[in-house]
Amino acid sequence: MIMTTRPPIHALARRAGRSCVIRCSSSGGKKPPAFPHSQKGRHQIMRGGSLFDVAGSPVIQSVASDFRPKRIILLRHGESMGNVDDSAYVTTPDWRVELTERGQQQASDAGIALRDMIGDTGQAFFYHSPYKRTTQTLERICEHLDDKQIIAIREEPRISELQFGNFQNVEEVLKCKEERHKFGRFYYRFKSGESGLDVYSRVSSFITTLVRDCHQYSAAGHDLSRMNVVIITHGLALRLYLMRWFQFSVEVFDASSNPDNCQLITMKKHAGKNGHKWYELDPSDRESLSLPECCGVPQNVHLHKLARGATYDEPSF
């Protein structure tokens, strides 16, 4: 096992004096202001990270009011004991299954890749599933970042793994997974567990919180043009997050594939000549997930032809 030189995440939270797993390291150590009730107009709707009025037309916002981080980076946890041996779930609750030694190394490598991606002065705030394997992945990643680069760390139960039930019978779970393959991953429900639709619903709720948090940190004085949101979750939850954000169909989701362990899946901010902004999925990441080209851009961007004359939104660090 690879040992961390940093204190565990819960110790970092205690050091910050917060009851939840969240840590702020800039703006003079001040706590960000309370969540605003609404940063949008009363008749404006957020879809796919873009703002629309009730008639469905895009709302153009000034640069000063842009609350979107530079990137949203998702990754599946490192290889776990359950990934290499299904019997691990028989005596160990799913949420307590740990990383293998290989998974620890994958997470450390992901930390190096993340540091190279965001640069020495780039910053990030993290959301992670409460599961042991995602928390361990987070700890290995944070070893490679300076404390000043980590704005906040928050444990988020809504991005947890699909619930298969409690202690699992290996033969029964394998039989159910085979049945799910025939029935369809999105609607199939495990006995005493969840369906993909259930995970989709809670991930959708999380996205609303994510948008609100971006408003909060922008209001607190953080420069979101160099901010990165990093979400450490599970394969199925990651794909359902993308399904919700990019608005692709159930059939497309069912045909998609999980990312590799600790693969960085990157959504990068783009801008049109009219000032409208949205996120696009990195083409190589999209292909690795077996998603068609149309799924790399939110459907409302296609609908309103907002991508004409689009450019990468590349503010300097």
Catalytic amino acids? 77, 161
Cα separation, 153 vs 13, in Å, equals 8
CA distances from 3 to 6, 63, 144, 290 (A): 9, 43, 13, 35
Cα separation, 270 vs 280, in Å, equals 7
Cα separation, 278 vs 269, in Å, equals 6
| 3 state SS of 268 | strand
The amino acid that residue 87 corresponds to is S
Give the single-character DSSP code of 50: E
Catalogue the E-assigned strands of 198-283: 227-233, 264-271, 277-281
Whether residue 230 contacts residue 126, with contact meaning beta carbons closer than 8 Å, is answered with yes
Written as six digits, the tokens of 216 are 């909060």
Sequence-distant (≥ 6) Cβ neighbours of residue 192 within 8 angstroms: 165, 166
Sequence-distant (≥ 6) Cβ neighbours of residue 309 within 8 angstroms: 272, 273
Written as six digits, the tokens of 106 are 């994958």
Q: Are strands 264-271 and 150-155 parallel, antiparallel or unpaired?
A: unpaired
Q: Which residue's structure tokens are 């590799």?
A: 260
Written as six digits, the tokens of 169 are 């019978």
Rounded to 10 degrees, the C-alpha dihedral 163/166/170/175 comes to -50
Half-sphere exposure of 16 (CA within 13 A, CB side): 25
How many residues are present in the chain? 317
